[in-house]
Structure 1
Amino acid sequence: MRALVQRVTEASVEVEGRPIGRIGPGLLVLACAMRGDDEAMAQKLAVRVARLRIFGDEAGRMNRSLIDMGGGALVVSQFTLAADTRSGNRPGFSAAAAPHDGRRLLDCFVDGLRGEGVAVETGQFGAEMKLRLLNDGPATIWLDSADRA
């Protein structure tokens, strides 16, 4: 799985003008299941996100995790993270997991975050969504649960 993690002071998601998820300080996580991913990869990525030390400590150093600071996570499915842009001007998305696998693995990822004690809000899988966020830092980190060529 892949995730683009952004430290935020607040973030929200809406579908058809209706708010469906909102967090205060924490992480906005754009997540994508890739072909060949499994539940173990989703769990591994959840643990990495929950324990990623990108929040400031008393000295202002990135030394605290989402768990340490008691923040929330807004998880939004983002199949475009699977984009292949190596040739041409139109990205290809064949590396993304099929929709039924993607939904199952995203749910597993969310369950893994909750299992780490993180309060999680989510977007709506497969929907057109509008995101609002106030990026903190900015601090944006790219994570991948597997090495890919």
Structure 2
Amino acid sequence: MADTYHQIFVHLIFAVKGRRSLLKKEFRQDFFRVLSSKVKNLGHFPIIVNGMSDHVHCLIGLNPNQKLSDLVRDLKTKSNQFLRDKDWVAGRFEWQTGYGAFSYSKSQINTVYKYILNQEEHHRKLSFKQEYIGFLKKFEIEFKEDYLFEFYPEE
């Protein structure tokens, strides 16, 4: 029987419920390392996990034997539990429902990696809402703003 070969790269984006800035700088990098290990424990290949206080970017090599929606559900559930156990977030922590998933070819991985690595720099110039809508437009995904993440007015 012939082997099966695959190379599927996905950039996931998901946000803290209410876009609250709960992923504080003092623990954020530790939390992103934990998310990366959780991606691996769920059977996928983590390439980079980074983000800001209110959202996360994950670039992963997707295991085609598992559904992407299951990965995101499990990653959100396990990271919620981790944050509760660590007591890094005061009060109740939740992720917003929904996520963005964007596929890339191997030749684009270095560019996407650098983009995710430099989140703080990107967000000096544009808001999360602008960033996310930019991805939707770039990938020609039809959307209605009413059904996007819960955005608060820009400050």
The reply to whether TM is greater than 0.5 is no
Bigger fraction of residues in strand: 1
Tell me the TM-score normalised to structure 2 length: 0.30
Bigger fraction of residues in helix: 2
Tell me the TM-score normalised to structure 1 length: 0.30
| More contact order relative to length (CA 8 Å, sep ≥ 6) | 1
